[in-house]
Homo-oligomer: A and B are copies of this chain.
Amino acid sequence: MDNFKVIFHIDEQNKAGLVLHNISNLIADLGEENLNIEMVANSEAVKMLVRNTNVFETALKELAEKKVVLCACANAMRDLGIQKEELLDFVTVVSAGVGEIVKKQVEGWVYIRP
């Protein structure tokens, strides 16, 4: 069976619900066992990964339990004054969101930008 490697890019906070819905639908369509998924949030979209008062926490946690890697861009965190400790436990910080997306694509991951 093919193993699909997919990177989702989000930089608009109002796309948070759509991106999470897209990822769930993709897992339902192609099967968790056939997928490696990473979501990279940069710019204002890193706010969707902050703890507390986060309406997406349950959906994010479910995806993390399905091995979806959820990344926050350190440049955006610095711009917005967000500390690592403020992020949900299961979030990974990457030095530059766009750099991460470039490197993943060079390694053969496909890019989706909802």
Contact = CB atoms under 8 A, between A and B. Distances in A.
A28 interface: yes
B102 A110 contact: yes
Interface residues of A, number: 31
A13 interface: no
Interface in A1-57: 2, 4, 6, 9, 11, 18, 21-22, 25-26, 28-30, 42-43
Interface string A77-114: 00000000000000000011111011101100011111
Q: Assembly of this chain: how many copies?
A: 3
Interface of A: 2, 4, 6, 9, 11, 18, 21-22, 25-26, 28-30, 42-43, 75, 95-99, 101-103, 105-106, 110-114
